[in-house]
Amino acid sequence: MSRVALGILLALAGPAAAQDAAAWRDSAYRLTVEVQRVRDSLRLDDSQIEEIARRSGLVVSATTKYRASAHEVLDRFDAARRRWFGSALPTPNGFRITLRSGDSWSFGRRTNRPQSLSISGLPDADEAFRLAPFFSNESLGDAERATQELLGEYGSLMMASAPAAIRGWLRAGLLLSFPEDSRRERAMYSLVTGVGKAQRACVQGDAAGCAHAIGIRRSGDPDAGGEYYPLVRADLLLAALEQGGEGAWTRLIAAGGTVEQGLAATAGMPADSMLLRWRDGLLALQPDHGPVDLSAAGLILGWSLLILAAGLGIARCA
């Protein structure tokens, strides 16, 4: 088409109405919002967290990937929580623990869709404790492992309200993220392979030796020797909580005084009786074939030193 013909057509069409600048900005903004909404729906269509079940004042929620195991996680978590803490909560405002996975980033862009599994304790108020750590997909995809991770975080929340003396004595926390069988086996090996005088006396049934070796009562014997690793202290406290039953955690919080007094109040019995019962429970775990494998002691030592180092690092940062 020639320039003359184009000019004639434009003249016949008349002047085009200019779009108002404000209206143009509004249209552009609405278009941007719609585009972002479509992108979000494509990226997050299976990762919106939904409530799955409620039980005993607890609520479990999950994104698509973890919904199949949510009921089992709730059952396991509720049973373990009641075993050691009864119906106690970290605060009257409840709590929320959201384990997250899949949030990996590359060059500023999300490479995996975010997935999460959450346990809340009602009333779950705005002032409640809230944790949202990251874990691997493998950990959260297995109900047993996911429960252990939730329990580990829950134990940390509960210990925040424990007496300062108990927290200082425990050193590395309750270690609830470790499977119970593994924790108890390592505690048993620590008990029976201790070489200190008080440790050997504890194995033989001397309560005073156990009290010194576990760090709740100092022996007057200058040759009493050292103490058990931090893992053993966690095992003792959990044993006292289980022995004390409903209300054990409440008694621990209210006890005050020394660590020995707090443990006795928790278990609902004299400290010496509690120590000997705990010792008997560990000795019952000894293998019934051959001697204890002393090579395991080196593994326990290294593992326990790592736990202690982590606990001391946390304490310095607090």
Q: How many Å apart are CA 180 and CA 172, to the nearest integer?
A: 16
Q: Is the dihedral of CA 206, 208, 211, 214 positive or negative?
A: negative
What is the percent of the chain where pLDDT is above 70?
72
Residue 311 has pLDDT above 70, yes or no: no
What does the pLDDT look like over 208-224, one tens digit per residue? 999 999 999 998 889 99
In which band, very low, low, confident or very high, does the pLDDT at 4 lie, cut at 50, 70 and 90?
A: very low
What does the pLDDT look like over 273-308, one tens digit per residue? 999 999 999 999 998 755 444 444 444 455 455 444
What pLDDT does residue 154 have? 96
What does the pLDDT look like over 159-218, one tens digit per residue? 999 999 999 999 889 999 999 999 999 999 999 999 999 999 999 999 999 999 999 999
More confident position, 191 or 132: 191
Spatial contact of 296 and 185, defined as CB atoms under 8 Å apart: no
CB atoms within 10 A of CB 185: 17
pTM here is 0.74
What pLDDT does residue 94 have? 92
Residue 43 has pLDDT above 80, yes or no: no
Among residues 93, 144, 102, 142, the alpha carbon closest in space to that of 122 is found at: 93
Q: How many Å apart are CA 114 and CA 132, to the nearest integer?
A: 12
What pLDDT does residue 282 have? 97
What pLDDT does residue 299 have? 47
DSSP state at residue 18: P
Q: How many Å apart are CA 143 and CA 73, to the nearest integer?
A: 5
What does the pLDDT look like over 76-115, one tens digit per residue? 999 999 999 998 989 889 999 999 986 554 445 555 667 8
